[in-house]
Amino acid sequence: MVAKYFHLVKFSHSIFALPFALIGFSLGTIDSSQPPSVRLFFLVVICMVTARNAAMGFNRYLDRDIDAQNIRTQTREIPAGVISPKQALFFIGLNCLLFVLSSYFINKICFILSPIALLLVLGYSYTKRFTALCHLVLGVGLGLAPIGAYLAVTGHFDPKPILLGITVWAWVSGFDIIYALQDEEFDKTNHLYSIPALLGKTNGRKVAMFMHFIALVFLCLFIAALWSSGHIGYISILAASIFSIAIIYQHSIVKIDDLSNINLAFFTSNGVASLIFGAMICFDLFL
């Protein structure tokens, strides 16, 4: 049964945001001049995973009727009857509780901000019903990962993780717009909002490119901030270059008249890029 819940929330897709949370944690550890705390590390990971589980589970719960009408999503756990709506709600509530409890054991500011964080990540699920900017709201949820992890270690905000957070926001928003290209007609028919449904596939793809341009700009600013503070060397520059190439690559394989490579662009390219980037930056920070 656990495997069914993991599949419900696409647990493996945690790789999109988790590496950036680990960067925030590593950067906070270095800035605070403290030895890495195993206890704090696990609390941050628990917060990261449970927040994502709650957000994804709530999205699946709220969209269950919509998913049942879309041929692409009819096999998802709730419309397929694998998991009932009540079971999904229990799973969502449990993860919300674990998130708040974990934040309580981290520090006071994380605990105080935990309901706001939940409001943001859960609230995204409603946005497709009234605004085409829903992709940008999703990006905010994942962009909080490095900021929250840094805050967990240091107890205060800093420009460096915020720059990385904006990078993640623009990167996620861009590839979510690309993913939404395949549902353009369905969204129009069912009065759902998205950039492709509003502007069409061609212009939607251009908006995705623009968001990824913003991501690359803030990625450069983040690397420059780390470099000027003496935190990193050439390994991080190589990591940023690989990540940038992966972002550009996904646009080269997704064509308006052929969306068959969307999963390759969305999952493989972005997932591998985030893992490599996170591992190399963390290694360079501690090196």
Confidence of residue 5 (pLDDT cuts 50, 70, 90): confident
Helix axes 38-62, 18-31, angle to 10 degrees: 150
* Per-residue model confidence as pLDDT tens digits over 43-66: 999 999 999 999 999 999 999 999
Domain spans in the chain, listed from the N-terminal domain onward: 2-286
Return the pLDDT at 219. Answer: 98
188-213: average pLDDT? 96
* Per-residue model confidence as pLDDT tens digits over 210-262: 999 999 999 999 999 999 999 899 999 999 999 999 999 988 888 888 787 78
Question: Looking at the whole model, is its pTM more than 0.85?
Answer: yes
CA triplet 65, 67, 70: central angle to 5 degrees? 120
* Per-residue model confidence as pLDDT tens digits over 86-112: 999 999 999 999 999 999 999 999 999
Mean pLDDT of the chain: 93
Topology annotation, domain 2-286: Tetracycline Repressor; domain 2 (1.10.357)
